[in-house]
């Protein structure tokens, strides 16, 4: 790993789920609270901020300009942003994302630029648009310091991409203790592939969309018995932070309390003791015995849904039902959380499944949700 990567703090600030003034308006970021969050993060030793062209419909990048770029010297932070080329209608528009992102953030260059959600059929769009060469050329021109890509695909796909594009400076992968030996996500194998290619990893979804922070009681009790003082989030973070070849671990933060807790966990980080590792192994075994829908709330599925179905919310409630073993509780939440777009309004067009990086059988899961919660 390059020396400048070695000194990057292992806690990164994910700017995908920022606090909102109006929950129905993704652009209504609570800027004053976000400024406090940025301050607490930097005061706690953090430097790495992760956003994307599409986060909060572009408002995430704009908010970073106000909360970070205008208020701190350039050497106090690094910024990562991303280009979702597979969703762009043309190569010209995909390539224009970089200039737009730089303008939104008020930056002359971006420290880490990612080709966003490569893998599967989506890779063909990046190839056809010439995005690999575009990003490398932008690096040569000083607009980008480091070029990489994010993906939710398996280890073989990652190996093929890093073989085809050996100039990549880093890669962003979904890694957490639940997905470590998962046969679909293949987090362990992906980490091994990245190490084989000598490419450091930015870890995303360390808490698997928040699920590893909201564990069922019988699982949480196992971890708390081993370490009563540790937050559930800290177990997820420590698992990732102490893996080899990690550049940083992203945590999506939505309020000031989360930032403070994450900073405290980061500052107190240490490898698991043998007793803690045994407890974590037992917790994972219990979790794997509970059927679940592997949704991480990335929200790609809702982009082209013609019916406006609130898919991530519904899938999350299916998981909540499984984890709490309480259908009535989940059904009560469904009655209002899914009101804007209930499962029964799905027309089975499949647009959501084509966009899902987790390969979830969304149409079927919506049928299950309608049966469980709307009857």
Residue entry with tokens 């930015």: 202
Report the pLDDT value the prediction gives residue 274, as an integer from 0 to 100.
Answer: 96
Give dist(CA 275, CA 250) in Å, integer. Answer: 26
Report the pLDDT value the prediction gives residue 210, as an integer from 0 to 100.
Answer: 79
Dihedrals φ, ψ of 209, to 5°?
65, 20
* Residue 324 pLDDT grade (very low, low, confident, very high; cuts 50, 70, 90): low
Chain mean pLDDT for the chain:
93
Whether 263 and 41 have beta carbons less than 8 Å apart is answered as yes
Assign domain 1-284 to its CATH superfamily.
Answer: NADP-dependent oxidoreductase domain (3.20.20.100)
At residue 291, does pLDDT exceed 70? no
Quick one: which of 280, 274, 291 has its CA closest to 222? 280
Dihedrals φ, ψ of 129, to 5°?
-85, -5
**CA distance between the termini of the chain:** 55
pLDDT (tens digit per residue) in 104-146: 999 999 999 999 999 877 899 999 999 999 999 999 999 999 9
Give dist(CA 167, CA 331) in Å, integer. Answer: 50
pLDDT over 70 percentage in the chain: 99
**Residues, the chain, total?**
375
Report the pLDDT value the prediction gives residue 374, as an integer from 0 to 100.
Answer: 96
* Residue 3 pLDDT grade (very low, low, confident, very high; cuts 50, 70, 90): confident
Report the pLDDT value the prediction gives residue 345, as an integer from 0 to 100.
Answer: 97
Quick one: which of 94, 25, 42, 3 has its CA closest to 266? 42
Dihedrals φ, ψ of 64, to 5°?
-60, -35
Report the pLDDT value the prediction gives residue 336, as an integer from 0 to 100.
Answer: 84
Token couple for 40: 């607490």
Report the pLDDT value the prediction gives residue 322, as an integer from 0 to 100.
Answer: 84
Would you list the domain boundaries of the chain? 1-284, 309-372
At residue 282, does pLDDT exceed 80? yes
For range 279-297, the mean pLDDT: 85
Q: Which has the minimum average pLDDT: 96-100, 156-160, 327-331?
A: 327-331
Report the pLDDT value the prediction gives residue 196, as an integer from 0 to 100.
Answer: 98
pLDDT (tens digit per residue) in 32-64: 999 999 999 999 999 999 999 999 999 999 999
Token couple for 74: 């350039």
For range 267-294, the mean pLDDT: 90
pLDDT (tens digit per residue) in 70-79: 999 999 999 9
Report the pLDDT value the prediction gives residue 73, as an integer from 0 to 100.
Answer: 98
Report the pLDDT value the prediction gives residue 1, as an integer from 0 to 100.
Answer: 76
Report the pLDDT value the prediction gives residue 171, as an integer from 0 to 100.
Answer: 98
Report the pLDDT value the prediction gives residue 320, as an integer from 0 to 100.
Answer: 78
How many CA atoms are closer than 13 Å to the CA of 49, on its beta-carbon side? 30
> Taking the model in full, what pTM does it have?
0.81
Q: Which 3-state string (H, E, C) describes the chain?
A: CCHHHHCCCCEEEECCCCCECCCCCCCCECHHHHHHHHHHHHHCCCCEEECCCCHHHHHHHHHHHHHHHCCCCHHHCEEEEEECHHHCCCHHHHHHHHHHHHHHHCCCCEEEEEEEEECCCHHHHHHHCCHHHHHHHHHHCCCEEEEEEEECCCHHHHHHHHHHCCCCCEEEEECCCCCCCCCCCCHHHHHHHHHHCCCCEEEECCCCCCHHHCCCHHHHHHHHHHCCCCCHHHHHHHHHHCCCCEEEEEEECCCHHHHHHHHHHHHCCCCCCHHHHHHHHHHHHHHHCCCCCCCCCCCHHHCCCCCCCCHHHHHHHHHHHHHHCCHHHHHHHHHHHCCCCCHHHCCCCCHHHHHCCCCCCHHHHHHHHHHHHCC
For range 208-217, the mean pLDDT: 84
* Residue 289 pLDDT grade (very low, low, confident, very high; cuts 50, 70, 90): confident
Report the pLDDT value the prediction gives residue 349, as an integer from 0 to 100.
Answer: 97
């Amino acid at each position: 790993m390059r020396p400048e990567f070695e000194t990057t703090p292992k806690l990164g600030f994910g700017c995908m789920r920022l606090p909102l003034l109006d929950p129905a308006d993704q652009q209504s970021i609570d800027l004053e609270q976000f400024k406090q969050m940025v301050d607490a993060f930097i005061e706690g030793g953090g430097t790495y901020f992760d956003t994307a062209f599409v986060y909060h419909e572009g408002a995430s990048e704009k908010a970073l300009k106000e909360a970070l770029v205008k208020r701190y010297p350039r050497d106090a932070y690094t910024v990562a942003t991303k280009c979702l080329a597979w969703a762009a209608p043309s190569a010209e528009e995909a390539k224009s994302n970089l200039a737009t992102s730089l303008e939104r953030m008020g930056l002359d260059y971006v420290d880490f630029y990612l080709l966003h959600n490569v893998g599967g059929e989506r890779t063909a769009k990046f190839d056809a648009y010439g995005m690999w060469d575009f990003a490398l050329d932008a690096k040569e021109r000083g607009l980008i310091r480091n070029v990489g890509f994010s993906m939710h695909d398996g280890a073989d796909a990652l190996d093929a991409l890093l073989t085809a594009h050996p100039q990549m400076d880093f890669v962003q992968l979904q890694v957490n203790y639940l997905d470590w030996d998962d046969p679909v996500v293949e987090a362990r194998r992906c980490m091994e592939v990245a190490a084989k290619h000598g490419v450091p990893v930015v870890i995303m979804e360390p808490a698997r969309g928040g699920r590893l922070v909201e564990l069922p009681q019988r699982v949480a009790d196992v971890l708390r018995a081993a370490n009563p003082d540790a937050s559930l989030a800290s177990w997820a973070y420590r698992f990732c932070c102490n893996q080899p070849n990690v550049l940083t671990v992203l945590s999506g933060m939505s309020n000031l309390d989360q930032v403070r807790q994450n900073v405290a966990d980061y500052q107190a980080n240490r490898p698991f003791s043998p007793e803690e590792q045994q407890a974590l192994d037992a917790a994972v075994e219990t979790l794997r015995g509970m059927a679940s829908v592997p949704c991480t709330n990335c929200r790609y599925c809702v982009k082209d849904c013609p019916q406006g179905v609130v898919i991530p919310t519904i899938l999350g409630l299916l998981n909540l039902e499984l984890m709490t073993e309480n259908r009535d509780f989940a059904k009560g939440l469904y009655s209002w959380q899914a009101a804007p777009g209930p499962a029964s309004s799905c027309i089975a067009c499949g647009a959501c499944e084509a966009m899902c990086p987790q390969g979830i059988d969304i149409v079927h899961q919506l049928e299950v949700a309608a049966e469980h919660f709307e009857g």
